[in-house]
Each structure stands twice: as C-alpha cells, then as structure tokens.
C-alpha cells in the first residue's frame, strides 16, 4: 500500500521542520509530534480549552499535534503550540496571559523539548 502524500504544503513543511528539530536537538518529542501530524487528519486530536485547563498547570508548555478549539475557559497562563487553532481559542489563551503559537514556532522556542507535555 503506498504512503499517502500530504497536499497541504504548510503541513508538509511543518512535518519536515519538526523532524529536523528532533534530529538537531536530540529531542524525540518533536519526531513524535511530526508522526502524529503525518497520520490522517481524522486521527488528529481536537483539544478544547476545558481539557487543556484540566491537564495543564500554570505556566506550562503544551504541544497539541492537531487542533486547539475554544470550548471551555482558561484561568491561568499557559503556552500552547498547535498546528491549527481557532481564533476564539487564541483570544482566550491570550486573555488568560498565555500564548497560542504555531507548532513549529513553539518547537523552536522549546527546542530541547524539556518540560513540554503532549496533549491529545
């Protein structure tokens, strides 16, 4: 069975960048995130802010290998990296004092992957 080809150039570039960061920094977490993004989109996690509030702690770093959605509320600052996030989710994270970043930018900020939690 042939390997499916991603047609989204932004997604393909993000996967390549994450794998390169994993090799350069000896951080297997970014390879795991890249492999999750390589899979079918229907298998990507869709993480709501309510779930993020349950599983993350104040000032933590959380990687979402999929989509960040805005259902729920967030009352503490957290840095979130997701391939895609809704505008409302980004606003709620910012209002709580945190940051919602694209996954590659997030990975560059936390290159070693220490202290980063994968959610989803």
CATH number of the domain where residue 39 is located: 3.100.10.10
Please tell me the pTM assigned to this model: 0.91
Residue 4 lies in a domain: no
| pLDDT tens digits in sequence order for the chain, 120 residues long | 566 677 889 999 999 999 999 999 999 999 999 999 999 999 999 999 999 999 999 999 999 999 999 999 999 999 999 999 999 999 999 999 999 999 999 999 999 999 999 998
Range of the domain at 110: 9-118
Pick from 51, 120, 56, 29: which is nearest to 82 by CA?
Answer: 120
Q: What angle do CA 7, 10, 14 make, to 5 degrees?
A: 110
Give the rounded distance of the alpha carbon of 50 from its chain centre. Answer: 16
The bridge status of strand 46-48 relative to strand 61-69 is parallel
């Amino acid at each position: 069975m042939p390997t499916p080809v991603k047609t989204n150039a932004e997604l393909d570039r993000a996967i390549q960048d994450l794998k390169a960061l994993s090799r350069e920094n000896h951080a297997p977490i970014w390879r795991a995130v890249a492999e999750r993004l390589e899979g079918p989109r229907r298998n990507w996690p869709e993480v709501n802010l309510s779930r993020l509030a349950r599983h993350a702690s104040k000032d933590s770093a959380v990687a979402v290998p999929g989509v960040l959605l805005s259902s729920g509320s967030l009352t503490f600052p957290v840095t979130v990296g997701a391939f895609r996030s809704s505008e409302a989710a980004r606003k709620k994270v910012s209002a709580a004092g945190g940051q919602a970043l694209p996954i590659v930018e997030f990975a560059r900020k936390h290159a070693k992957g220490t202290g980063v939690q994968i959610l989803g």
